[in-house]
Each structure stands twice: as structure tokens, then as C-alpha cells.
Structure 1
């Protein structure tokens, strides 16, 4: 039976750097950190520091070796690497488990593809509905719902639920366009903090029985050289290997033997590579380089282990929040830890 006396809220701010959170720039987030608890070194993303793999981790707690969701691409036997939202979470989600326990859940996100990626259609209230952006929705330069649209949708939703998952996307867009330490990105972090403050205000009714977990999915790094790092070309002769590149990280499926590993490491712009599971490897670029040439100049990217640091804050008025606040102050929580913690808070059955 679900813990009906508790509301757990997960707020994910896409690409907001832990290092840029401060009393001056992000006062609303800083207040939650001070009144609650904050991981001093931040949280830790999956090895591929990308959006879809980490959101799948947040909502399932299941390792990529089981789900195939290693990055923004997922491995499916017989199909190869496919876009992760197409594959979905491929594991039981918190939305599933809340529903099975007779509870109610809500999700409002600033990246419409996250509805499929996180299995959000199983929630009782979903925005954007079906993962489709309603006509007239204010969007960012990349076509994702703007923070203001997410706030408006959240304010219109019934947030009296057992599980609420909210997501703000604009820091990621601005950091991609101009770089994570650019003046434009810094300004956006402040603006998104304002939107975050409005989400916190929307949770005021019921705050005394609410636990809020505030996260980011990854950091970003500055791109100085727009020339694509040609990993796929270097491995094209190894017909048993399949490559999926994404920003400053890349996934390789297959048996990477010594010859392939040497070929990979010899590619100009490659920093290193490591095995993630029995049949999946990861490679990443040197700082300032990326794998995929973009149609426009990009100031920032992510994917490499350099971008694994996540924001990790626990706050709220529920008594159940207190031990988590103290725990996070001495921890560097993994992206895979949050779903089991939330399940335990809500009294959900294991699995």
C-alpha cells in the first residue's frame, strides 16, 4: 500500500551546472539547498553524460546493462542503436509502480521526448499530452517547450499526487548554443531559477508532507573546435562494431578487440575509451572537441565523463525529508540511486 501521507517531487533542470548554483545567481535553488541538503560535489550521472539515459536511470533505477539505455541511443538486438525515446525506458518505472499501488502521479516536462523516454504516459496527468507539444506553446530555439510553458502547465495541473516529476529544459539549449560558461548561459541559469521558484511556490499547498528532490541530468563543456572527431570512419572496417555518437561521448557495440581499440585510440581528438558492459564500450573526445558536426556552431556539448556532475538537492517540509537531507550532504549520489529511494519513501513494492 502506498504511503498516502507523502508527496515526492522530482524536479530535473536540464544541464544546470552544480558549479554555477549560488546565492547570487540562483537564489531559489540555493534556498532549497540551505533549508534542505545539497551534495557538496554534486551527484554522478551515468558514464554517458546525456539526457535520455540519465532520465531513464532517474525513473527506473535500472542499470543500462539491463535496459540497453546507455545514452541518447539504446541498443536493441536485431535493430542496433536506436534513439532512446523510441525504445522507451525498457524497465518498470516509478509511474508504473505508483499506479500498481493505487497511487496518483503527474509529469510535466520541457523536453516532450521525455514522455516516451520516461514512460510518462503511465502518469495520471501528463504534459505535453502524449509527448506532443500543443499548438501555440512557447518554445526555445531548438523547439522544446520554454520554461514559462512548463511552469504554466504545472500551475494548471493537480499537483496533489503521490509522485510529481517536473523538468525544465532551457539551460541545456542555451548552453549548447553559447557554451555553459557564456554570459548567455549565466543569464539563462538565473531565469530558470526564477521558473524553478514558481514551481516550488506551486507546491506550497501540502508542503508539510512533501519531499523535493532537485537534480540536473548532466553538465556541459565548452566546444572550441567544431571539426568532427571521425570515430565512425576509423572503425568502419570493423564490420562487427556499431557506433552511435552523441556530443563528446560515443557508444560502440560489439567485441572491441586489441586492433579495434588501438584504431579507436589513434583517432585524432579521442581522449580515451572504456568498457561499459560485456558488449558495449564508450569513447570520448579530448576537451573542446566533439564527435558530431552540427549544422550550426555549438558553444557547448556533453556526453564525456567530464560532464557527469549533477545537481543533487533534497528539501521539503515532510519529516521523511530530514534523513535524506543529512545523507545527501555527505554523498555523491548516482543517477541510479534516486528511483529506489523514492520507491522506499512511497512504500512501493520492490521491482
Structure 2
């Protein structure tokens, strides 16, 4: 049976210690998942204890150790998350005693469809390598609406319906590129370093040292990249975005310190060459729609230009954010609006949040991480 097979018994002997934070603590992984004879433990956890949240066990028999997440509620949620468990079991099969090093030294960066169609993906690659990250591997990813909901499962509870629908629309509009990155020898995890360096989701809150500022993001949703917040998120998101064989290849490349830079550039070139080039600026997109309205045959329908022009003028002046009205008028007057024009207009004008709602887990891109007890009581 090949190494990393789901049916392989994996045994890494170690002592089980009381502290999940002991950097020198050996790892434990004894897994016989499909025999029903044992409950798999998570490396570094200590197999004899559960994941405590306010004194309660996780209920899964698996402890998510503190070095994977500082948040008790996240450790509790992930202890029963099948994407996380698939990924952590695959990593343990490949990495062995390098498990903890992988979690500390690696992170992921997802180049979203807006990075591809705006032709900014190569600039993202240059930025990450210029800032001390090496590229281990790259994988093409095609989202479905189910992938969208899985990836942001613990944050979309606070998202407006508009934000959820547009996320489905733009994330499925073309291929993404998933990068596995490494930065070794730092005091904190690579996930924390990159999460802070990529900058907030809102372009107006980004600063010159941020990736999103340097490359040039567009709005709250069209911000080019997504990154994992903590090592636990790295593992869970690899469980969502990659299948079993892809994960094994990425984990093996990481353990072997493979240089995947050339392959990543080649993949980005291939994905960009098969995708349209799109202007994601709101003003110019509105100009395109106004021009299209002027070219509608007046013999077929009433002249749409004046009415659409009034709506567009109000949007430009900040007097309206009613993108639905714009689309309804375009449909009424048979003015063609492309998928990406819809994406641009909706993502610029929508209100992304449900007033008063708080996400199940915090978004590290905001730069504000609430205290663990505050998060737990959300």
C-alpha cells in the first residue's frame, strides 16, 4: 500500500505531555480510522484528553492543539470539521515528525478570479517572493457555490444576502490559483505573517506595506487574494480546496523543500491566457453600460439612454447604491450587461454586512482579533 493511503496505519511514537505549547514536545499520531478500533488523535495533542472549551470536551475525541489556533472556539469547531480532519490526517501521514514544522513554516495564498482577469496575478507572485516567502507548489482550483460556502462557512453567517450571492458569482467566474508558500525561521507562524502582510479586505484600510495595496485591489470583495489566518485554517482550507492526492503532493513537496516558483508562474500564465482580460474599475464599467445603451436600436425599444443615464449619474454622485435598479432597466431596454460588469457593479455597491451580526470566527484581515472569551460567546 502506498504511503499516505487513507487505509494505512500510521504510528509515530512519542510521549503525551500536558502542554500543547511545548515547542519541543514530540508529536503523536496513531490512526486506524477505518477499523473502528481506535479514535485518531491529532499530532501534538496528547491522545488521552479532549479539546477543552470552558471545561467541555470537543465530543470528537480529537484535541486541536494550541499551536494550530489561539482561539478556543475555533479549536472546538475544527475538531469536528471533516475538511480539517481529512487534511490533518493526510499531513501526518506524509510529514511525520515534520508535522509541527510544516504548520509553523507554511501558509497558503489563493489568487482569486479577479486577480486573474485583471492580470495582477504575476505581480502577486513577485510580491510574495520579494517579501521572503518561497513558493512550494501551485494548484488550479475551480470553485462552485458549495466551495464558497465551505471556505467561508464560519463568517458568512454575518454576511448579507447580496454579499453571499456575489461571492458565489465572482468566485465561480473563472479559475483560481492556490499557492502553498513557506517562510522558515520566524518567531511566529507563516500564516500569521502573511495574514497581516496581505492587508485588510477594504482597500481604503490598506497601507503601502500591504500586498493588496502594492498590487492594487478594487473593493471589499474584489481584493485579489485570500489567505489562511492561522495554521488550523491552512489545514482546513487545504482540505476544502485540494483533493486527497493533491494534498499529498503539496505536503510531500513541502517536506522536501521543493522550489515550485517556475511551476507557479507557468500555471498563472496558463490560467491568464484562458481567461478574459477585464477592467474592474467601477467608473469605466458604468461608462461601458452607458455606451451600450446608446447603441440599442431605437426602432425595437424606447430609447434607454436617458433613463439609464439618470441612474448612472446618481450612482456616480453617491446618491444611489441601487445596482438592482440599474440591472432591471438594462434588462427592460435590452441593454446587454456582461457577467463581469455585473460583478463589478454589484461588489462596489452592495452592503456586505448584516447590521448587528457577528461572524462565528473573526476575520484576521481586519487586523482586529477579539479576545477568545468574547469570540466564544458570540
TM-score (norm 2): 0.24
Higher RCO, Cα 8 Å, sep 6+? 1
TM-score (norm 1): 0.26
Higher helix share: 2
Higher strand share: 1
The structure whose Rg is larger is: 2
